[in-house]
Amino acid sequence: MQIKELTKAEDQVMQILWQIEKGFVKDIIEKMPEPKPAYNTVSTIVRILETKGFVNHNSYGKTHEYFPIISKDKYSKFYLNNLLKGYFNGSFQNLVSFFAKDNKLDAQDVEALMKQLENLKKDKP
């Protein structure tokens, strides 16, 4: 199955599910910032995430308890690779250079980031 990029709303719900590991729609809403979205809105987003293959559920009568089936780490790798391709010509060096210039990272930060990125590159399918 191919991972698809999440919308901002989907990402927000997934961040909560990764944090709580499993929960009902009301549990997800409880973790959301004010103003809280409507129950039906979150329910729809969760069902879309299920269709996209990010979550699954256990049924308890008419109630569903949702849980992630794609790890945060797996999605992070996918997202980073897309970011590299789309904005930095697939180059880790261009990415690090961008952060070093615009965010004023020190040499130690840049070195640590390069190591992490190289490890991600090794793990790339």
* One domain for residues 12 and 64: yes
What's the pLDDT at 12?
A: 96
Q: Is 36 a domain residue? A: yes
User: Quick check: bond before 37 cis, omega within 30?
Assistant: no
Question: Would you place residue 108 in the very low, low, confident or very high pLDDT band (cuts 50, 70, 90)?
Answer: confident
The domain in which residue 19 lies consists of 8-68
* One domain for residues 36 and 76: no
Q: Residue 6: is its pLDDT beyond 80?
A: yes
Q: 88 Cβ partners below 8 Å, 6+ apart?
A: 94, 95, 98
Provide the token pair at 68.
Answer: 């992630």
* pTM, entire model: 0.76
* One domain for residues 53 and 77: no
What is the count of structural domains for the chain? 2
* One domain for residues 64 and 12: yes
* One domain for residues 48 and 86: no
Q: Is 3 a domain residue? A: no
Mean pLDDT over the full length of the chain: 88
Q: In CATH, what number is assigned to the domain containing residue 31?
A: 1.10.10.10
Average pLDDT score over residue span 18-34:
97
- Longest Cα–Cα distance in the chain: 56
What tens digit of pLDDT does each residue of 46-104 get?
999 999 999 999 999 999 999 999 999 999 888 888 888 888 887 777 877 777 777 66
* One domain for residues 91 and 61: no
Q: How many helices (H) and strands (E) does the chain have?
A: 6, 2
